[in-house]
Amino acid sequence: MLRILCSCVLGLLALVTQALALRTFWQPVGSFDPVLVFFGWQVLAAFMMGLFMLSALPRHYHGGRVGAFAHIFAICLFLPVAGQVLFLSVILVAVLLPAADKQADSALVENPEFVTYLVSRVTHGGGARLRARLENRNGSTEDRMAAMVAVQTLPSHITGGMLRDLLSDPSEEIRLLAYGIVDGAEKSIMQEIFLAQEHLADAVTTAEKSDVNSRLAELHWELIYQNLVHGEVHRYTLERVEQYAHEALEQNNENASMWYLLGRCALLSNKPREAQEFLQSAQFYYFPADRLLPWQAEAAFLQRDYGRVGKLLGPLGNSTASPLLQPTVRYWSK
């Protein structure tokens, strides 16, 4: 009650001071300039209106009260009478049309989750459905085993990470089959590496040494590309790729594939400037441009040269870029 009474008093004072401000223009000229007298009353009227509006604001008002007061004071100061009428109208509307006491019903909604057991109803994205069937540990073992068999037909660089995750699967059949696939792919590449190393020892000419070194670099890169190595083994394999690639380039500097591999290795090592130089060398020796551009764009992005990213990805277009790359091309080409 006291709060309402104070508000009424402040509102009345605001109206009175505003009336006194206007009254100065109809008073005879005295010893003071009437404009200064009007301005003094107007400042007091704006101040009173600011206090009145603050007292009328609801208690749960979360806005800055100091900012609201400054806003009201400035409007009433520079808009005599109109500012008063404006804010009194706001108060009048609030009194005649009060807000509903009951707040709108609301509740916290959990984030949606991907329901794997409904994936069988999806008619597109065969790879994604296979992945979902494998990751659904509530599914039948027969269905997951069938999905595992189908996974073997997919490129290993796509399924490598998924198979690694399945090595800790609670189902022994799934775990053993995943281990068999990963181990088989790794052994197949390692056998080729051992065979290439024997050929390197027998190589005599510069061309033979260059070819074998290139082969060894590519085979070690295949272990990384297929996601078959991790941790320290990954780092060791990356060093072997760089070592064999440099040795191959010492014997044949025009080997564009080795420049390309060195660029990819530099990106994995977070050395974008070196990667850019290696990729430019690969481009100079006629490495396919559509395979170079995404990595050149990544090197530019890591160097914060965002203006070059769109220029590099633009020539790819949506038709030549892979489905995985198309959203990136569209984003940077706009």
Structure tokens at 196: 């290439």
Distance CA 48, CA 38 (A): 15
DSSP secondary structure code for residue 139 in this structure: S
The answer to whether the beta carbons of residues 217 and 248 sit under 8 Å apart is yes
Q: What is the CA radius of gyration of the chain?
A: 38
Four-point Cα dihedral 231, 278, 283, 331, nearest 10:
60
289 to 283, 284, 300, 332: CA distances (angstroms): 7, 10, 16, 18
| Per-residue pLDDT at 241 | 94
| Per-residue pLDDT at 115 | 57
Burial class (CB in 10 A: 0-12, 13-18, 19+), 17: buried
pLDDT along the chain (334 residues), means of 10: 79 85 76 79 88 79 76 88 86 80 74 59 59 75 78 73 78 82 87 92 88 94 88 92 94 92 94 94 90 91 88 75 76 77
| Per-residue pLDDT at 126 | 59
Residue matched to tokens 């909604």: 109
End-to-end CA distance of the chain: 61
| Per-residue pLDDT at 218 | 94
Distance CA 229, CA 186 (A): 9
Q: What is the pTM of this model?
A: 0.58
CA angle 181, 184, 190 (to 5 degrees): 140
Give the SS3 label for residue 310: helix
Structure tokens at 264: 């990819």
Distance CA 25, CA 114 (A): 74
The answer to whether the beta carbons of residues 293 and 315 sit under 8 Å apart is yes
The answer to whether the beta carbons of residues 262 and 278 sit under 8 Å apart is yes
| Per-residue pLDDT at 295 | 92
| Per-residue pLDDT at 60 | 64
| Per-residue pLDDT at 249 | 94
Query: Tell me: the pLDDT tens digits for 282-316?
Result: 999 999 888 898 999 999 999 988 888 888 888 87
| Per-residue pLDDT at 22 | 82
